Chains A and B, each alone.
Chain A
Amino acid sequence: MDLLIDSVLSAILLLWSLDPEVYFIIYVSLKVSLSSTLIASVLGVPTGFIIAFREFRGKRVVITTLNSLLALPTVVVGLTVYAFISRKGLLGILDLLYTQTAIVIGQVILIFPIVASLTIAAISRIDDRYRKTAMTLGATPFQTAMVIFREARFGIIAAIIASFGRVIAEIGISMMLGGNAKGFTRTMTTAMALEYDKGEFVLGVALGIVLLIISFTMNIFFNYLQGRTRV
């Protein structure tokens, strides 16, 4: 118990002292997580929307596949991307391994199915009367789609929040593709794992506190956004 209390107090002091190393780790974590969430959202939301809105052959198969990929282990993504971007891999020439870009690529692959699947769920939940209402009021197919999108916005925001939560807390991809290089690809989770291995808890606890604060802040922000956009 003493160890935990001491660690928490020391962690708070460490954060208070504005230690550059700590804040750089936080910066890298936020940068890669926000980048991957943004890219996955730009790709996943329209994909999910099209899958939900359109009828096509094999739709059920696509949805089932995306749902299965929700449980994709980070190490599987890490290994697969590694196989492509390692020096002997197909994309080895790009020299991406152990870079922040590599982490972003892995994280996008990890959360794309989450964004797409939850978007499909959000769109599918929208009552068909909204589509018919938009159409009967004279909307074009695109304008009708936008009405559905607008009505599903709360669900889509939730999908993006869930995806950000997944990447900010993941460790497998950051470790395998980023390499945990100090001052370069070290993220909060990889730093915490390293500190744990070293038997040092202060930095780990400090970063844990930051992770929780980020998580809370993001949720409060999106809740506020939902409240504002409800009217």
Chain B
Amino acid sequence: MLFQIRNLIKVYGSRTVLDIPELDFEKGTTYALLGPNGSGKTTLLEILSLLMPPTTGAITYKDTAIDFKANNLTALRREIVMVQQNPVLFTTTVYKNLAFGLKIRGIPKLERERIIEGSLDLVGMRSFLHAEAHKLSGGETQRVAIARALTCSPKVMFFDEPTSNVDVENQITIERIMTEINTQKKISVIFTTHNLTQASRLSRQVIFLFEGRKVSSMYENIFNAKIIGEEDGKQICLIQDRVKIFLKTEKEGNVRLAIDPLEIRILTGQDPLVTNNIFKGKVMQLTDEGEQIRAVAEIGIPLNILLPKTVLKESPVHIGDHVRIYCPLEAVQIF
């Protein structure tokens, strides 16, 4: 096992930003940490990359417990490299940026040059070898930062929102690089994103985080809403002042709710024996995500729906179709 996390808690002041009772990462695999801003993704990455200690809890790396108070963290850190969201390059040339990790590891100059050129080749930045690092664009900076991390020959690489600030062309390149790092160099990859499509496409397993906790896939379709009344023992909730939905809750006033995309159904034949929570909508987007198809439907709010491919084969849905969408009561959860 690469990492084993047990009862991990990170507190800033009086706010608990991370509370994970149990989470394991296997060697050689790509994982995606998915969650909205403030869900604790970056904090978890920084703890795992030994850049900050947890408040409480235990972490093992390759079955050895990590002691965050020990002096040997630098040795462990040399196996784990993190590429930050908006990475910074040192105020010098691209070459010297890449040489940094090698120099501090005492790699001889000739060997350094070979490794640096190889790393730059992998990210397609060889021609920038002697360029001034601070003159690179956002996408180029990100790629050089990845190459710089690669020169350290890590066992694990963390990427924090690797494509959040780059153009589409660089996004495709970076995703390719991340795949090659895992498949060719056999480096374990853990990355954060708030893009489920990217998470599903690049990783073998997606871990959902919400408000510092590991949650099921229902993390999607999160909305601010308000309980405005009650009817037939069910509460009526107004989502973003536009869409009324029925649910069962004891909470009142303003709430945050999530609608599980796996529970939502697109009605094609007869309606279920209910009259509530059926919405008229239009299919705006369809994406192939392996076993499932992701549909985004506009019902006054954008709603993500995950449909098994078998269901779609029986009742095909196309972009632009006007459909009726059913959200069962149990699909709606209040936080």
Residues of A at the B interface (CB closer than 8 Å) are: 127, 129-130, 132-141, 143, 147, 150-151, 230-231
Distance of A114 Cα from B185 Cα, bound (Å):
51
Smallest distance from the beta carbon of B91 to chain A beta carbons, Å?
6
Name the contact of A139 in the complex, choosing from B74, B84, B88, B91 (C-beta under 8 A): B74
Smallest distance from the beta carbon of A162 to chain B beta carbons, Å?
21
- A143 and B104: CB pair below 8 A? yes
- A138 and B91: CB pair below 8 A? no
- A151 and B74: CB pair below 8 A? no
Distance of A134 Cα from B87 Cα, bound (Å):
11
Within 8 A of A (CB), among B228-278: none
Q: List 23 interface pairs A-B (beta carbons < 8 Å), by A numbering.
A: A129-B88, A132-B51, A133-B84, A133-B87, A133-B88, A136-B77, A136-B81, A137-B81, A137-B100, A137-B148, A138-B74, A138-B101, A138-B104, A138-B152, A140-B74, A141-B74, A147-B90, A150-B91, A230-B91, A230-B132, A231-B92, A231-B93, A231-B132
With A150-B91, A151-B91, A231-B93 as contacts: A136 and B82 at CB distance below 8 Å: yes
B313 near A: Cβ within 8 Å?
no
Which residues of chain A come closer than 8 Å to B80, judged between CB atoms? 136
Which residues of chain B come closer than 8 Å to A150, judged between CB atoms? 90-91
B86 near A: Cβ within 8 Å?
yes
Extra pairs beyond A133-B87, A133-B90, A137-B149 (11, CB < 8 Å): A130-B90, A132-B82, A136-B82, A137-B148, A138-B78, A138-B101, A138-B105, A138-B152, A141-B74, A143-B104, A230-B132
Taking residues whose C-beta sits less than 8 angstroms from the other chain, chain B's interface range is 20 to 34
Within 8 A of A (CB), among B142-180: 148-149, 152
Distance of A127 Cα from B91 Cα, bound (Å):
12
Q: Of residues B81, B90, B132, which shows the largest number of chain A Cβ atoms within 10 Å of its Cβ?
A: B90
Which residues of chain A come closer than 8 Å to B152, judged between CB atoms? 137-138
Which residues of chain A come closer than 8 Å to B304, judged between CB atoms? none
Smallest distance from the beta carbon of B162 to chain A beta carbons, Å?
14
Q: Nearest CB to that of A132 among chain B residues? A: B51
B49 near A: Cβ within 8 Å?
yes
Smallest distance from the beta carbon of A124 to chain B beta carbons, Å?
16
Distance of A73 Cα from B78 Cα, bound (Å):
50
